């Protein structure tokens, strides 16, 4: 189990992309490694890949905020609670090997989960209210006890906005739609975020020392 890996279980659509980007960015900013299953393999292969990612990640973030359909004519999404259940199952069936495994469960509104998935009561469940700044704060605050050097959420949020400007500029210049979640692979997004953050931190450190 890699101590810096964070398994991400969330919707993969353009509506959620405005939350996924700051979520990934905040993890990269505090030197963690987001792990996402982005394959379109058949069910069994995909499940094995998800199991592998979960087993190799000390942390998991499960966003269950799409338990309800976004629009009247849509159905709710069941992949997230399903994968959350797999993660709990792995931990509960291997209590020694996964004693250090930690879960953060994200929801849109506080306490709504109690009506639809009350079995997870007692875990760390935080509401992001579909707010990109709040998702950064919730994630940052949850990881803070693990690392006292984690910066305050405002620093990450301001950096994220600067990154977003460069993200839109660069993708537009390359002929890609920056609002389309499929323009880059997740591993590319994470790699680009990490490269950007390394240089950004050098720049603000230099500016701070002047």
Partner 1 sequence: MAKASSKSNLTGKFSKAASTNSGRVHVVPSKDGWSVKKEGAKRSSVVASTKEGAIKAAKNIKSAERIVVHKKDGTIQRNAKKGEL
Burial class (CB in 10 A: 0-12, 13-18, 19+), 130: middle
* 3-class SS of residue 169: helix
Q: From 7-15, 100-108, 116-124, 179-187, give the range in contact with partner 1 by CB under 8 A.
A: 179-187
CB of 207 to partner 1, least distance (A): 5
CB of 30 to partner 1, least distance (A): 16
102-107 and 57-63 strand pairing: parallel
Q: Which two tokens stand for residue 28?
A: 């990269």
Residue 119 contacts partner 1 per CB under 8 A = no
Contact track, partner 1, 183-202, x by CB under 8 A: xxx--x--xxx-xxxxxx-x
The closest of 62, 61, 81 to 6, measured between CA atoms, is 61
DSSP letter, residue 97: T
Name the residue nearer to partner 1 (CB basis): 116 or 158.
158
Residues that bind partner 1 (CB under 8 A): 18, 21-22, 131-133, 137, 154-155, 157-158, 160-170, 173-174, 176, 179, 182-185, 188, 191-193, 195-200, 202-204, 207-208
């Amino acid at each position: 189990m890699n101590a810096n890996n964070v398994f991400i279980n969330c919707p993969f659509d353009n509506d959620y992309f405005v939350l996924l980007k700051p979520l990934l960015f905040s993890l990269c900013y505090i030197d963690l490694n987001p792990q996402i299953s982005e394959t379109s393999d058949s069910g069994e292969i995909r499940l094995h890949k998800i199991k592998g990612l979960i087993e190799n990640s000390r942390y998991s973030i499960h966003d269950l905020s799409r338990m309800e359909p976004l629009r009247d004519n849509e159905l709710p999404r069941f992949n997230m609670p399903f994968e959350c259940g797999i993660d709990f199952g792995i931990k509960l069936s291997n209590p020694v090997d996964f004693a250090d495994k930690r879960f953060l469960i994200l929801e849109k509104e506080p306490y709504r989960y109690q009506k639809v998935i009350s079995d997870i009561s007692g875990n760390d469940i935080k509401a992001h209210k579909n707010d990109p700044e709040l998702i950064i704060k919730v994630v940052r605050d949850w990881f803070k006890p693990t690392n006292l050097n984690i910066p305050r959420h405002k620093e990450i949020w301001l950096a994220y906005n600067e990154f977003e400007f460069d993200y839109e500029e660069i993708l537009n210049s390359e002929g890609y739609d920056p609002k389309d979640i499929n323009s880059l692979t997740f591993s590319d997004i994470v790699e680009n975020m990490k490269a950007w953050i390394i240089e950004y931190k050098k720049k603000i450190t230099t500016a701070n020392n002047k």
